[in-house]
Amino acid sequence: MSQRVRGVIARAKGKPVEVATIVVPDPGPGEAVVQVKTCGVCHTDLHYREGGINDEFPFLLGHEAAGVVEAVGAGVTDVAPGDFVVLNWRAVCGACRACTRGRPWYCFATHNAAQKMTLEDGTELSPALGIGAFAEKTLVHAGQCTKVDPQARAAAVGLLGCGVMAGLGAAINTGGVTRGDSVAVIGCGGVGDGAVAGAALAGATTIIAIDTDDRKLEWARGFGATHTINAREHDVVARVRELTGGFGADVVVEAVGRPETYEQAFYARDLAGTVVLVGVPTPDMRIELPLLDVFGRGGALKSSWYGDCLPSRDFPMLTELYRQGRLDLDAFVTEEIPLDQVEQAFAKMHTGEVLRSVVVL
């Protein structure tokens, strides 16, 4: 039997979100219904509301979530009712050319639920990143459920489902940060601070946090930044070089997604250094760099999809580091809010008041 639950939807581009009744079907083959415990308010959800992803309105928002599996469909063996899970939006297929080459974090055919959740009048909903977790319950592909330690705080480990994992993975998985490296991170929101935390975990000795907001720079220090740069007050490239012996950083993580900050990242790295773009640009943005500089500076220019993570490998490991006190996921949670305060959380995100607002159901 289908269930009726409350969920947050975006009906039209730029319009305030609203709480509506959502119809969640029973899970079909390969699917699972998850009772959502917590869901972080991520900038990607705002992108959906603003029409920055696509125009397949109405959207069921929310994707950075943790919860408990309530029911599973035929053929599901990896999770069972009662399992505590973090939801992920890259459920690997195991059969595409990336998976068969042993690079499943690049999977080109990730799974989503086949059935649609709807409004009461039958209008089909587009779940954000195939999840739609600003809801009391949601329907996902079972591969989107990753079991983690049930003793972990849901509001904290749920953030591994998107922002924290994207940043942390950008540093460690994509950027290959290792002991003794120098790292610069441009943009110190949830993703950027995830990169700072990842660099600290990997043993980087110089970690430079860059932002225009002193409050965010102070947060970054809490995650392991050894130096900070307010980009309104300093020439970012010159200051990064000054802090790295005149050379530039071994790895620069760009967590903003704008041409001007990408150019800063490009020139703030050392020769043969690595630039990692994890900030999400808009379709209209363009960059222009002298091709000779691209050749002459060497190194690598990389994009990071979801921190190049493999949820089945990374989520349990990072949850264990959290449980051991070695990864402070609690520090990312600025506030816990009810379902009907998502619109206000978007406003706080704009003003930089929060690192993460987390909906608790």
Tell me what the mean pLDDT of segment 51-56 comes to: 90
Q: Quick: pLDDT tens for 141-197.
A: 999 999 999 999 999 999 999 999 999 999 999 999 999 999 999 999 999 999 999
Query: What local confidence, expressed as pLDDT, does residue 52 receive?
Result: 85
Residues 325/189/178/330 CA torsion (nearest 10 deg):
10
Give the integer Cα–Cα distance in Å for 78 and 60. 26
Residue-wise pLDDT for 312-354, tens only, equals 999 999 999 999 999 999 999 999 999 999 999 999 998 889 9
Domains of the chain listed by start with CATH number: 3-161+328-360 (3.90.180.10), 167-304 (3.40.50.720)
Question: Residue 262's pLDDT band (boundaries 50, 70, 90)?
Answer: very high
Q: In what order do the strands lie in the sheet with 249-254?
A: 227-230, 206-211, 182-186, 249-254, 269-277, 300-303
- Average of per-residue pLDDT across 71-84: 98
Q: Distance of alpha carbon 58 from its chain centroid, rounded?
A: 22
pLDDT bracket for residue 270 (50, 70, 90)? very high
Mean pLDDT over 14-20 rounds to: 96
pTM: 0.96
CB contact at 8 A, 158 and 65: yes
Of 17, 282, 293, 194, which is closest to residue 185 (Cα–Cα)? 194
CB 310 within 8 A of CB 92: yes
